[in-house]
Structure 1
Amino acid sequence: MSGQMIVHLVRHGESLWNVEGRYQGQQDSGLTEDGRAQAAQFAAAFSREVPHPDVVFSSDLPRVRDTAAKYVERVGVPVREDEALREMNVGDWAGMTLEDAEEKYPEIVTAVAAGADIARGVGGETFAQTRERVVSAIGRVVDVLESREEGGIAVIFTSGNPIRLAAAHMLGIPSPGHMVLGAPDNCSVTTFRLRDGRSEVVRYNHDIAQARPADQREIS
């Protein structure tokens, strides 16, 4: 590889369950009116900063796809979907508030708060499992850029926990490692640069356009 590669990770716009403080995981409550406005504002601003991405990838979850759609309408690059970019699976906790989870599963909530990496809900994932699949998905995006020889720019639309976990990986923090990083805001950008065999976190949770601050408790 002769050129550098830039990878931008974008969190989706505000969803209904973000507002209500509910675990969302791989279910979808849809973008709110504010979330749709955020996506449009983000697209207008980010298409000026990155008008010619080489590739655009997205999770297949509707709240993420709908956020990505506003950007690709402006830059004219097709979206490639990858379900491995989905938010962490929280199983049957999807739709619960933190208070619901504390009432039904107090031991698990207490253990998680103490730092244990335990799957939430029946069929849910651990953070380590989520990190492994997200890092693999980003690796596939990087492979696409590397095949170009001159490097290039990728924009990836995903959710909050994948961004935190990917940043922890890039920083060399042992898995899962995300707890030292705040939850990304809706429609914020986190940027990695890869060159000469090195990876760098250039920025984290950068607000391109006005966004609602993320609730630290919520699963994106």
Structure 2
Amino acid sequence: MTTTIHLVRHGEAVWNAEGKYQGQADSGLTAAGREQAARAALWLQTLPRVDAVVCSDLPRVRDTAAPYLDATGQEARVDPRLREIDVGSWAGRTFEDVARAEPDVVAAVARGEDLRRGGGETFAETRHRVVAALEDLAAAHEDRAVVVVFAHGGPIRLAAAAALALPSPGHHRIGSPDNCSVTSLTWGPAGLLAYNRPTDLTTAAGCGDR
């Protein structure tokens, strides 16, 4: 059975705007992020069919999903496996601060080494839980179902890598999706339909959750 999944990255968060690592900590949406969420809700309402909505349990994602849920009367199932990668002690610190404090680790990550940044998760571990969530999602719905998933930049990159059958983790070949962009894929079998599709032409590119 094949399920179409539209993955929506959350709106701009405060730490996105401030150039800070975020991970599983949360800084809340900026005013721009809330506006992006409102515009994404309008875009999503143009989809001819949505059978279910699923979202990460982190506040910035649930706040992004709220305008769409309010407009459509849909209810979202919450799945913590869709959380952003855990960056441990790096959360809330600026990219520059971490680069000064741990230059060797930052350089190794930039080379493609899959390390536990700040003592958190590896990208491979994150991909494993995200793929498991998408597999369960596809198995829970009838063939050709359409599901909207509100999530984070890291999990969306990793889901795209899995859909492209890239060796795990695979995210280094894929740029970070913009805030409130939509990435569409099929699952069971997996395939990438569209990546980083804007939901509003005036929406600025957001920095990654890191």
Shorter-chain TM-score tier: over 0.9
Q: Which residue of 2 aligns with 1:213?
A: 205
User: How far apart are the structure 2 equivalents of 1:27 and 1:208?
Assistant: 26
Deviations 1:54-81 (A, max 9, x none): 1100000000000111111122211100
User: How far apart are the structure 1 equivalents of 2:108 and 2:95?
Assistant: 14
Equivalent of 1:189 in 143, 163, 182: 182
Correspondence list, 1:21-60, <5 A: 21-50=19-48, 52-60=49-57
Q: TM-score, normalised by structure 2?
A: 0.95
Deviations 1:39-67 (A, max 9, x none): 011101211225x4111000000000001
User: How far apart are the structure 2 equivalents of 1:199 and 1:60?
Assistant: 24
Equivalent residues, number: 209
Structure 2 residues without counterparts, runs of 5 or longer: none
Q: Which residue of 2 aligns with 1:139?
A: 135
Give the 4+ runs in structure 1 shifted more than 6 A.
Answer: none
Task: Please state how far the C-alpha of 1:90 moved relative to its aligned partner.
Answer: 0.3
Structure 1 residues without counterparts, runs of 5 or longer: none
Contact 1:53–1:77 (Cα < 8 Å) also in 2: no
Correspondence list, 1:71-90, <5 A: 71-90=68-87
User: How far apart are the structure 2 equivalents of 1:159 and 1:55?
Assistant: 18
User: How far apart are the structure 2 equivalents of 1:42 and 1:198?
Assistant: 27
Q: What's the Cα RMSD here? A: 1.3
- Residue aligned with 2:177, SS: coil
The residue type equivalent to 1:163 in the other structure is I
Equivalent of 2:116 in 89, 105, 119: 119
User: How far apart are the structure 2 equivalents of 1:211 and 1:179?
Assistant: 24
Deviations 1:118-176 (A, max 9, x none): 01113x0011111111111111111111xx3x431111000001000000001000001
Task: Please state how far the C-alpha of 1:211 moved relative to its aligned partner.
Answer: 2.1
The residue type equivalent to 1:37 in the other structure is E
- Residue aligned with 1:110, SS: helix
Q: Which residue of 2 aligns with 1:175?
A: 168
1:198 maps to 2:189: yes
User: How far apart are the structure 1 equivalents of 2:198 and 2:137?
Assistant: 23
Contact 1:10–1:156 (Cα < 8 Å) also in 2: yes
Equivalent of 2:126 in 109, 130, 134: 130
The residue type equivalent to 1:214 in the other structure is G
Identity of paired residues, percent? 49
User: How far apart are the structure 1 equivalents of 2:152 and 2:51?
Assistant: 21
Contact 2:162–2:190 (Cα < 8 Å) also in 1: no
User: How far apart are the structure 2 equivalents of 1:214 and 1:68?
Assistant: 17
User: How far apart are the structure 2 equivalents of 1:75 and 1:65?
Assistant: 15
